[in-house]
Amino acid sequence: MASGTARIDQARALFRRHGGMLKTREARALGIHPRTLYEMRDQGLVEQLAWGLYRLADLPPLAAPDLVPVAVRIPEGVICLISALAFHEITTQIPRVVHVAIRRNARPPGPGYPPTQVFRFSGKAFAQGIEEHEIDGTSVRIYSVEKTLADCFKYRNRIGLDTAVEALQLYRQRKPMEFDKILEYARTCRVARVITPYLESIL
C-alpha cells in the first residue's frame, strides 16, 4: 500500500494529466480515493470549486471562476441572460448568480456553488445560438450575443427592460452589427414586435 505522500503525489500527477480539474466520480474512476481528495484539500493542494469538483491549487486563477464550475456541474445547460451579457461585455450589471438555461423537460440541477438561477427554454429557443467557448480548458456553452439580446427582451420582466435596452446600446457601440440575426432570434423568442422599435432607434 502506498504511503500517504506517495498517494498524494500519484493523485496530483493524475490531476495534471487530466487538465488539473476533476469531479469526484472522475477521480474515483482514476483510482483516487475520496479520502485522498479530502487530504489534498485540507493541505491546500486542491481547491474545491463546487460540490464534487476539485482543481489543483497551484494552477493559474480561473479566467471565469463562476462559469467554469457551472458548465461542469450542468453540462447540458447554456449560460444565458445577464451572465451571457457579462461574458460578451455588453452590460454594467454584476451577476449575483449564474443564469443558465436548460431544456424545458430537463431534470433541474441540484444545489451547488456558485449559485445558479435556472431558466427553462424550449424548442428552437433553447437550441439556437449556442456557442462553445474554451475557458480554462473547459468547454462552456454560452448563447451568442445576438441570441442573448433577444432572450433579454423576452425575459425583460424578470431582468428589467432597462438592462435589455442598455445591452442593445452597448452592443451597438462595441460589436459588429448583426441586426438581422437579432431579429431572427427575436422571432424565435416571439419578441420581434417588442425589440424592433429599440433596434430602429439605434440605427
Give the separation between CA 73 and CA 6, rounded to whole angstroms: 30
Q: Where are the domains of the chain?
A: 4-56, 67-202
Dig out the grid coordinates for 196 from the structure: 424592433
Q: What is the per-residue pLDDT across 71-114, written as a single tens digit (0 to 9) for each?
A: 988 999 999 999 999 999 999 998 889 999 999 999 888 777 78
Separation CA 145–CA 10 (nearest Å): 43
- Peptide bond preceding 197: is omega within 30 degrees of 0, i.e. cis? no
Q: How many Cβ atoms from other residues are within 10 Å of residue 117's Cβ? A: 16
pLDDT tens-place string over residues 111-163: 777 889 999 999 999 999 999 999 877 899 999 999 999 999 999 999 999 99
What tens digit of pLDDT does each residue of 160-196 get?
999 999 999 999 999 998 999 999 999 999 999 999 9
